[in-house]
């Protein structure tokens, strides 16, 4: 499969799933997708991130060697899709201990940034909660910030913030 050509010509869920199916059957092909994800092309990095999300949710072991680089990319990502899909993956996978610090910092910054898309802020809430459960010393600061932020966002964000706060306080 020529992943680059497919992503240049199409951007559909069906195509992203086809790429996911191809890579889960041929794990060595992940390097081709990751090259596109980390590329300077806004279009290719955006489109590849959707397929990457599906791979990360279904077969996280395939992307494990790239997790550190994905976290490093967050502050300089050239499209919100890279951020959104990366954080969404970390919502579902076990976060490696060495990535907890930088990931907590990035997600905390996204939570405070009202200009960020709701999905990025909402997914960040759950990642922050996961890390705080492993590091209880972070809970107080996180509870304070979520309390400040919970009224700044969409109904969906407010609902998620309320649920996360409840779990953190219990």
List, for residues 37-89, the tens digit of each pLDDT value: 999 999 999 999 999 999 999 999 999 999 999 999 999 999 999 999 999 99
The number of angstroms, rounded, from the C-alpha of 110 to the middle of its chain's C-alpha atoms is 11
Q: What pLDDT is stored for residue 94 in this prediction?
A: 95
In this model, does residue 25 exceed pLDDT 90?
Answer: yes
In this model, does residue 145 exceed pLDDT 90?
Answer: yes
| Distance, CA of 41 to CA of 55 (rounded, Å) | 21
The better pLDDT of the pair 156, 57 is held by 57
User: What is the DSSP secondary-structure string of 114-139?
Assistant: TTS-HHHHHHHHHHHHHHHHH-GGGH
Q: What pLDDT is stored for residue 149 in this prediction?
A: 87
- Cβ(86)–Cβ(74) under 8 Å? yes
In this model, does residue 10 exceed pLDDT 90?
Answer: no
Mapped onto helix, strand or coil, the DSSP state of residue 144 is: helix
How many CB atoms lie under 10 A from the CB of residue 153?
18
Helix intervals (H) in the chain: 3-9, 13-25, 30-37, 42-58, 60-63, 67-73, 80-92, 97-112, 118-134, 139-149, 155-169
Q: What pLDDT is stored for residue 153 in this prediction?
A: 83
């Amino acid at each position: 499969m020529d992943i680059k050509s497919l992503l240049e010509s199409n951007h559909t869920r069906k195509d992203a799933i086809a790429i996911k199916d191809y890579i889960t059957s041929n794990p060595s092909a992940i390097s081709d997708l990751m090259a596109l994800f980390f590329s300077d092309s806004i279009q290719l990095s955006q489109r590849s991130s959707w397929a990457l999300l599906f791979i990360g949710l279904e077969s996280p072991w395939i992307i494990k060697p790239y997790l550190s680089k994905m976290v490093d990319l967050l502050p300089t990502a050239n499209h919100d899709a890279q951020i959104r899909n990366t954080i969404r993956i970390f919502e579902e996978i076990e976060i490696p201990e060495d990535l907890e610090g930088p990931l907590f910092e990035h997600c905390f910054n996204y939570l405070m940034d009202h200009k960020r898309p709701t999905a990025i802020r909402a997914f960040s809430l759950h990642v922050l909660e996961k890390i705080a459960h492993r590091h209880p010393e972070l809970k107080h600061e996180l509870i304070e910030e979520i309390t400040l932020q919970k009224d700044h966002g969409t109904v969906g964000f407010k609902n998620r913030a309320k649920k996360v706060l409840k779990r953190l306080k219990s």
